[in-house]
Structure 1
Amino acid sequence: DRRLGTTGETATRAGQSPAAASGNAKADTSPAAGRDARWTLREGLWRVTNDKGLKGCGRSAIAGGVGVVINGNVAHMTGLVTCGKIHLCPVCAAKIRAARSEEIDTVTGAWQAAGHGLAMMTLTLRHYRRMPLGTTRRGERSGLVAVQHDAWITAFGSRAGKMWQRLQADHGVIGYVRVWECTQGENGWHPHFHVLLFLKQPWTRDRADAFEAAARGRWLRSVEKAGGYRPNDRGLKVDVPRPEDAQQFSRYLFKNQDGKARFERWAPGGELARADLKQGRDGSRMPFEVAAGAAAGLAEDVPLWHEYEYGAYGIRAQYWSNGLRALLAGLVELDDRTDDEIAAEEVGGEGLALIPAETWYRAVIRYRGRPLELLKAAELGGAWAVRGLVESWGLIWGRDVLDAPQPPA
């Protein structure tokens, strides 16, 4: 038994349900199943995380109590702390990345409609199992993420110099959006950048190849200068959309399976922003797949998750080049909310119950699975189902749990 704790659950790889892991049942791909998986994973991470924000996310009441709300056929909770940790929290990450993905698809659609072009540049490192993920924290800068970010600064960032400016001008690169992503596999951690290039005009493949060759030389030299192993020729690649994909940018073109995704076509929003929906390939795992193992108590995954938590600290999930957002604001309305604001935004609806903070801590959050049970009851039968559930826990309606406050007339 490789579990560290006795959770009463079967420890499965990559967060699969026992049925899915055994191949006896097809995974539920409904939105409700995705929500349930994220809430369950976050609850499991409360027990193993070293991050204070994640430990309190969806657990700590903000003020007097927690509300159970129904909007259409989807239930929500109000009055709970959110951490806004896009790299660490499966619940906050889903909200934040959905908003960022929608914005990317909106701006890329408008950019192409105006006659401009797009390309995707991917930057990777050579890495081996013994190499630590490291950190970019001040005074502790080390490991793969430090090499990655230092190489970026020299090749394409603030210390890139006039040659990089000239390369952009020669190829009509107006700006870029850079997104950080990380996987883990047999060869250890694999941090990499996806960089969406905004072009004055669409590129031919020959034009893309010319830019790729020049940019690759810069990246290879910069990685070595930063202390990393010299990448091979696949360390930098540039992709351009196929002609038949040109009008597909504003759609989510992936299939969601058990909280993960397989991209059917090249969609910038999903490829850049929806790392929470991706599934590792060729034996690699996405961070939330490692998190699922850690939450289940797998001995090898707990330290991996702690290493990832420490290494992801302070890393921007998404970075826009100077002046690009101001330029795009002339084409579309941009989403200027912070990650924290997106994560904390509450969806309105009909209030079904109010759980005072004392009851929340004493009788709900201390029992594993109860918050999610409340949501499911609300979706199944509204206020009466919620009342029946809380009374089955031995609570008294009207004292321990209250009717939801009515909006003013």
Structure 2
Amino acid sequence: MIQGAGTVILWSATIERQADRPLAEVWDNLDAVWRRFNDHEWLSGKAHGHAHRVDGYARHTALTVNEQGWHPHFHTLLVVSRNMPREQAVRLAADIAARWVDAAEHVGVVASTEGQRIGLPAVALPTDSPHQARRQAHREAVARVQYASHQAWGHPGSIAGTPEGVFRAAAAGDADALDLWHEIEEATHSHRLRSVGGIFRTPAAPRR
């Protein structure tokens, strides 16, 4: 939680692994769930008049694979500029998880509330500065939030099953790993690894 400044929520959004499905297809499903989840900019609350609207998000796609199939998932930083009482932040986190599960069901894939890891790290974001300065402060806070998430959730114990691990295995001559690497190459050509919204968006350049 943020003391007297604003609120940060860390969220890992997941869907169930889909055995024997290519990465691009599973990633398509994950993106479809996000679009349904954030339909009409639900996170911002603009279309629904929510009191606890999210002012911005930064989303990174992580890729892992094991014998049960590909598991692309989103690590997302959500920022509410005003200080939110912990009880309200917990309710917002629960609403996010429940809406994600409903969106997955609508798309036709499986997700569970237990699979959505949501945390409220203690990272301060100054909000008493002018708008542009505050935007920069939020950007700089991302690194601190990532550090806090590592402290709360732990570092991955192995690179096996990650793109780095797949690449190393392929470079060492593993033919199966090489096939997986080709899947990663193909899928990343048509999907975005990172996405931002709200205060994290870069302002459009003024017309001349």
For residues 292 and 201 of structure 1, what CA distance do their matches in structure 2 show? 44
For residues 204 and 240 of structure 1, what CA distance do their matches in structure 2 show? 11
Give the 3 Å change call, closer, same or farther, for CA 117–214 of structure 1 in structure 2: closer
The one-letter code matched in structure 2 to 1:290 is: V
Residue aligning to 2:148? 265
Contact 1:121 1:194 in 2 (8 A): yes
Q: RMSD across aligned C-alpha pairs, in angstroms? A: 3.7
CA displacement, residues 170-203 of structure 1 (integer Å, 9 cap, x when unaligned): 2141121122111122322111112211112234
Matches within 5 A, 1:30-69: none
Give the 3 Å change call, closer, same or farther, for CA 160–218 of structure 1 in structure 2: farther
Give the 3 Å change call, closer, same or farther, for CA 284–212 of structure 1 in structure 2: farther
Q: Give the deviation of 1:250 after TM superposition.
A: 5.3
The one-letter code matched in structure 1 to 2:33 is: A
For residues 235 and 284 of structure 1, what CA distance do their matches in structure 2 show? 21
Q: How many residues align?
A: 187
The one-letter code matched in structure 1 to 2:31 is: H
Does residue 237 in structure 1 map to residue 117 in structure 2?
yes
Give the 3 Å change call, closer, same or farther, for CA 223–293 of structure 1 in structure 2: same
Does residue 122 in structure 1 map to residue 12 in structure 2?
yes
CA displacement, residues 92-126 of structure 1 (integer Å, 9 cap, x when unaligned): xxxxxxxxxxxxxxxxxxxx799222221221011
Larger radius of gyration: 1
Contact 2:98 2:113 in 1 (8 A): no
Matches within 5 A, 1:181-260: 181-229=62-110, 231-242=111-122, 245-246=123-124
Residue aligning to 1:133? 23
Residue aligning to 1:43? none
CA displacement, residues 283-333 of structure 1 (integer Å, 9 cap, x when unaligned): 852211111101111122111111111112132222221454368x9xxxx
Contact 2:6 2:124 in 1 (8 A): no
For residues 181 and 171 of structure 2, what CA distance do their matches in structure 1 show? 9
The one-letter code matched in structure 1 to 2:173 is: G
In the alignment, which of 183, 204, 207 is matched to residue 307 of structure 1? Answer: 183
For residues 196 and 118 of structure 1, what CA distance do their matches in structure 2 show? 7
Gaps of 5+ in 2: 126-139
Gaps of 5+ in 1: 1-111, 135-142, 254-262, 272-277, 330-335, 337-409
Q: Give the deviation of 1:234 after TM superposition.
A: 2.2
The one-letter code matched in structure 1 to 2:55 is: I
Give the 3 Å change call, closer, same or farther, for CA 166–239 of structure 1 in structure 2: farther
Residue aligning to 2:129? none
Contact 1:182 1:189 in 2 (8 A): yes
Secondary structure of 1:170's aligned partner: coil
For residues 84 and 70 of structure 2, what CA distance do their matches in structure 1 show? 33
Task: Give the share of equivalent positions with the same residue, in percent.
Answer: 24
The one-letter code matched in structure 2 to 1:266 is: S
For residues 282 and 182 of structure 1, what CA distance do their matches in structure 2 show? 13
Q: Give the deviation of 1:154 after TM superposition.
A: 1.1
The one-letter code matched in structure 1 to 2:113 is: D
The one-letter code matched in structure 1 to 2:163 is: P
Secondary structure of 2:175's aligned partner: coil
Give the 3 Å change call, closer, same or farther, for CA 144–168 of structure 1 in structure 2: farther
For residues 161 and 201 of structure 1, what CA distance do their matches in structure 2 show? 18
